[in-house]
A and B are shown apart, each in its own frame.
Chain A
Amino acid sequence: MTPAQISQYAFYFFAALAVVGAIGTVTVRNVVHSAIFLITSLLATAGIFLTLGAQFVFAVQIVLYVGGIMVLFIFVIMLVNLDVALHQMQFKRRWWVAGLLALALGGQFGAVIYYSRAGGVLEIPAARTGALSPQNVQQFGLALFEKYALPFEIASVLLLVALIGAVVMTKKRV
């Protein structure tokens, strides 16, 4: 198998895994199972990033999403008593209206992508805006700390605000 074929098969494998995980997340009754399906989907997305040659985003996806955010979710699921909710209705009464609307939205987006592909808009542009090397972690770091230094600092303030907010929210007396 050539490397191109391997990356193609990897894409279809990870894409199928991501979609199955996502469907499981929104349909399964038990919330813990839902979280595990979501972890599957997020790991498959990390694989998608690898087929796109984004090694740093791949690592961040696994460490931050699967290692950080999902552990937080599972902690909260353990803290909140869900036994009562498990036996109640899991979907809203008029769920099919929402489903139809969402599918209509998806049809519109799909038509946009389909016709732009048929019209040749999605061809590889002749004048690419940069030069991305296959090992682009160094480029990533340089751009992050030169061009995007201010947004980077603002993101740290955002995380501080979220930290304080979460602590205040879960205090004994709100």
Chain B
Amino acid sequence: MVPIGNYLFLSLALFIIGVIGVLTRRNVIVILMSIELILNAVNINLVAFSRHWANVDGQIFTLFIITDAAAEAAVGLGIIIAFFKNRETVLADEMDLLKW
């Protein structure tokens, strides 16, 4: 049985890669995909602790997080399509309508 520390380090690596993606990329679609990476890292943590404590609750939280990810992807991609129709771009730093 692989100790839980290894799962935590794997989840940490995926989380940090996702954070770097969100903070450094300019393409909004890639930023959304990096958010999916972050949510995935959280899922690994929850399932690993679910086995650690021999408790099924962690797996159920994972299911809710996947539901959230689906909702977030649907709304986020809808926003991207609406924005692309108006401004013909997908770059995050050109989304400055609310800045002054």
Query: Chain A residues in contact with chain B, CB under 8 A?
Result: 4, 7-8, 11, 15, 18-19, 22-23, 25-26, 31, 34-35, 38, 41-42, 45, 48-49, 51-54, 56-57, 60-61, 64-65, 68-69, 72-73, 76-77, 79-82, 84-85, 88-92, 95, 98-99, 101-103, 105-106, 109-110, 113, 117, 122, 124-125, 128-132, 136, 139-140, 143-144, 147-148, 151, 155, 158-159, 161-163, 165-170, 174
Contacts and interface: CB of A to CB of B under 8 A. Distances in A.
B86 to A, nearest CB: 8
Interface string B1-34: 1111111111011111111110111110110111
A58 to B, nearest CB: 9
Contact of A80 (B2, B6, B29): B29
A102 B16 contact: yes
11 contacts: A22-B14, A23-B17, A25-B37, A54-B47, A80-B80, A85-B89, A85-B90, A95-B23, A136-B56, A144-B63, A169-B78
Contact of B24 (A53, A56, A95): A95
Interface of chain B: mostly helix, strand, loop or mixed: helix
A99 B70 contact: no
Given A26-B30, A130-B54, A91 B78 contact: no
A80 to B, nearest CB: 5
B12 A76 contact: no
A25 B6 CA distance: 22
A72 B12 contact: no
Given A31-B27, A42-B40, 14 more contacts: A25-B21, A34-B33, A38-B33, A54-B62, A65-B40, A72-B77, A80-B29, A85-B89, A95-B23, A95-B24, A102-B20, A113-B5, A132-B55, A166-B74
Contact of A45 (B3, B15, B43): B43
A140 B56 contact: yes
Contact of B52 (A23, A31, A102, A124): A124
B51 A73 contact: no
A129 B91 contact: no
